[in-house]
Structure 1
Amino acid sequence: MNPFTALQHQPPALHSVQLLLVGLFLASYVAAVTGLLEPRGRLRAAALASAAGLGMGFVFTPWTLGALLAALSIGAVGVFIGASWLLSRALGVHEHHTTLLPEAEDDATADAALPAPRLPAMAEPAPPRFAAPTAPAPLS
């Protein structure tokens, strides 16, 4: 039997649980793979993705269907990341190399930066076109 035809024969009581686990798996896998979180957060997201993937094996009626959905979602995320990387390379967006560590990036740019040109004494700076950005205080 085709595993995808088994999707139509799932118990109706488990549909919401299945959707929740698939969504949780996909979101936590993306958070674990990308640089959205710090290393500790990525480790927790990977643990959550593993638990959700294991839960998908228990919730889907043939367990192979849950494993197949997990494998296909991992492949789809990989294809998306690869396609976006290739597109950014083709458009030249990837030319600026960042280190994700602001301290190291500031040190590297401070050494290589040229001195800033000075304005003549008579010139006045132009008024800003926009107000300074405001943000709420971080939750600590």
Structure 2
Amino acid sequence: FSIPAVARVARSATLRVTSMPFVQAAELSGSPWWRILLRHIAPNITPQMLNFALLGMGIVIVTEGALSFLGLGVPAPDPSWGNMIFEGQQSLSATPLLVLWPSLALLVTVLAFNLLGENVRDEMSGR
């Protein structure tokens, strides 16, 4: 479902880079389109695409956990944070740590991907 969003980000980044003078100079010098794409456009859109992918990983992890919690994701014998939280919910009053640890692991993982994506964006933009 995220293909249109990835395409939109890639297209906008590509349009921004293709209007820059160094790409126009490469076109005027007679470089083939594949060389312009590999040497000028791809390296300049890679940081934005990497940032988008890292931020999207958090969404994917939370979605998988939610679907597994509802019983629509990974089948029960296979490990999943959503399954672990659901199984721990059965005995929440007796052992709350069965819900706490998978929830914290999910939270820390998603937070790590989001922070990594923000750091990549900041490093690539020169902040």
Structure number with higher helix proportion: 2
Give the greater-gyration-radius structure (CA): 1
Same fold by TM (over 0.5)? no
Could you state the TM-score of these two structures normalised by the residue count of structure 1? 0.28
Q: Which has the higher contact order (CA 8 A, sep 6+)?
A: 2
